[in-house]
Amino acid sequence: MRKYFGTDGIRGRVGEPNISPDFVLKLGWAAGRVLGNGNGSTVLIGKDTRISGYMFESALEAGLVASGVNIRLLGPMSTPGVAYLTRTFRACAGIVITASHNPYQDNGIKFFSADGDKLPDAVELAIEAELERPLTTVDAANLGRARRVEDASGRYIEFCKSTIPAAMNFRGLKLVVDCANGATYNAAPHVFEELGAEVVPMGTEPDGLNINRNVGSTSPAALCQAVINVGADLGIAFDGDGDRVLMVNAQGRLVDGDDLLYIIARARQADGTLRGDVVGTLMSNLGFEHALQRLGIGFARTQVGDRYIMEHLKRTDGILGGEPSGHIICRDRTSTGDGIVAALQVLAALRTLRASLDDLCAAVEHYPQVLINIRLAERRDVLRLPAVVEAVRLAEQELGGRGRVLLRPSGTEPLVRVMVEGADATQVQALAERLAVVVRNQLGDGAL
C-alpha cells in the first residue's frame, strides 16, 4: 500500500500535511535520491498557474539540489508538455506541480520517468521509503545546479504541430480555445493559430486564483455559449494542467472524451494505422463500445485512471485509449494524455474523413448514465457488504443485460461512486437512487 501517492501523483489541499512546503522539500530530496542516476542527472520542473506553484517550485528545487540533482525550470507548462520535454532533454525525470482540474486551493506533484511515462508503483514505493529517512545533503561540491529553460513553450508548440501531417492546415476554421486559466494558456492558442485557424482565446488570463474557475473542461457552459455568440465552428476546452480536452459543436453542444476517442479511432482505422484494441475504463459509455464494435474495432476496459489505460496499451501494443472526461492517449504520437495533441488528432480526422464533428459523433448513441457520489467520513470498504452486493445483483437483474452497474471507491477522495447505465433513462435514475440509499444505510453516520 502506498502512503502518499494516489492514482496520479500526490495531491491535496495547500498547507495540509502532504502538500506543505516542508513535505514537498523532502519529497524533492527523496525523488532525487531515487530517480537521479549519478553525476550530472537532470530533473525538469514545470507547473500550472496556481499561486502556490511558486512556493512548491522553490521547495522541490531545494530538495533536489540537496540530493545532488541538477534542475531545469520550465515555468508554466502543461503536464504532457513536461512529459515531452523530459524525453527531449534526456532528463532522468520530470515533475509537474499541479492539481489538474481541481480549484486553486489544491495542489499536487506528478512525476514522469525519463521516457515521459508515469512512474511504476515500485518507484513510487521507493520514493516513499526514502521519505521515511532523515534528510541529508550531499557535499557542497556535489550540490545540484538550477537553470531556467527560456524556450520551453516554443519547443512544446512545435512538437504539438508535428503530430499532424506537415501539409495539413486548419484554414477556414474558427475556434474558441478555452485554456481554463491554466497551464496551456500560453501554448494552445499559438498551436491552432500557427496551423491556420482563426482563434478566439478564452481562459487565458491566469491570476493564480482563477484556474478552472467557471472555465475549462470541467466548467464548459461558458465555452458552449461563447461558440454560439461568436459564430465559431468548434470550441475546444482544456483542463488546468492540459492533459484533458473536450469539444463543443457549432450549436453549443458538448462533445465528450468517448466521442473524441471514437473519431480518432475511426480515422486511424481508415488510414490503416490503428493497432490493438481501443482502451477505455469502467466509466466509458456502453454506446461508445457498441459504436466501435460496429466498425469492427476491439474495445477493452480498465480501472479508472490513465495509468491503467497506458499499462494495458503497452501490454497489448495498442495505441489509443481514453476516458469520457477527455483524458485521451494517442500512444502513436506521445507518451501520455495530451489535450492539445488529442484535439489536433480530432481536427485532422475531420479533414481526412471529410466529415463534420456532428456527422462522426452521430454514430455514438450515448446510453443514459447516472453517477451519484457518496462521501465518507473516513475510507471504508463498503462494496463487499452483503446488503450492497445483493442490491447490485438485483439492479443488474432488472437491467436484463441492457445496461451496467458500477460501484467503486474514488482513488483520490473518500467517496463511493454509484453509477448505473442503461437504455431507459427513468429506470437508470431510479436504480441509481435505490443503490445510493442502500450504500448510505450501510454507512450510518459516515455518509454526507
pTM: 0.90
User: In the predicted model, what is the mean pLDDT of residues 26-32?
Assistant: 97
Q: pLDDT, tens digit, for every residue of 165-192?
A: 999 999 999 999 999 999 999 999 999 9
Q: pLDDT, tens digit, for every residue of 38-51?
A: 667 999 999 999 99
Is the model's pLDDT at 267 over the cut of 90? yes
Please report, rounded to a whole number, the percentage of residues in the chain having pLDDT higher than 70.
97
Chain center to CA of 77: 14
Based on the residue annotation, tell me whether 100 is a catalytic residue of this protein. Answer: yes
User: In the predicted model, what is the mean pLDDT of residues 127-142?
Assistant: 96
Give the strand order in the sheet containing 403-409: 369-375, 415-422, 403-409
- pLDDT confidence band for 380 (50 / 70 / 90): low
Is the model's pLDDT at 445 over the cut of 50? no
Q: How far apart are CA 200 and CA 221, in angstroms?
A: 16
Contacts of 40 (CB under 8 A, 6+ apart): 70
Is the model's pLDDT at 243 over the cut of 50? yes
How are beta strands 146-148 and 70-76 bridged, if at all?
A: parallel
Q: pLDDT, tens digit, for every residue of 299-321?
A: 999 988 888 999 999 999 999 99
Contact at 8 Å (CB) between 52 and 13?
Answer: no
Predicted confidence at residue 39, as pLDDT, reads 66
Beta strands in 50-165 (DSSP E): 70-76, 93-97, 106-113, 146-148
Residue 291's alpha-carbon distances to 178, 320, 362, in angstroms, are: 29, 15, 10
Is the model's pLDDT at 67 over the cut of 90? yes
- pLDDT confidence band for 285 (50 / 70 / 90): very high
Give the strand order in the sheet containing 245-248: 198-202, 174-178, 234-238, 245-248, 254-255
Is the model's pLDDT at 367 over the cut of 60? yes
Predicted confidence at residue 447, as pLDDT, reads 39
Beta strands in 222-368 (DSSP E): 234-238, 245-248, 254-255, 278-281, 299-302, 320-322, 328-330
Is the model's pLDDT at 341 over the cut of 80? yes
Q: Which of 78, 100, 217, 335 does the annotation list as catalytic?
A: 100
Sorted by where each starts, the structural domains of the chain and their CATH numbers stand as: 10-149 (3.40.120.10), 159-253 (3.40.120.10), 255-361 (3.40.120.10), 369-446 (3.30.310.50)
User: In the predicted model, what is the mean pLDDT of residues 273-295?
Assistant: 95
Predicted confidence at residue 448, as pLDDT, reads 36
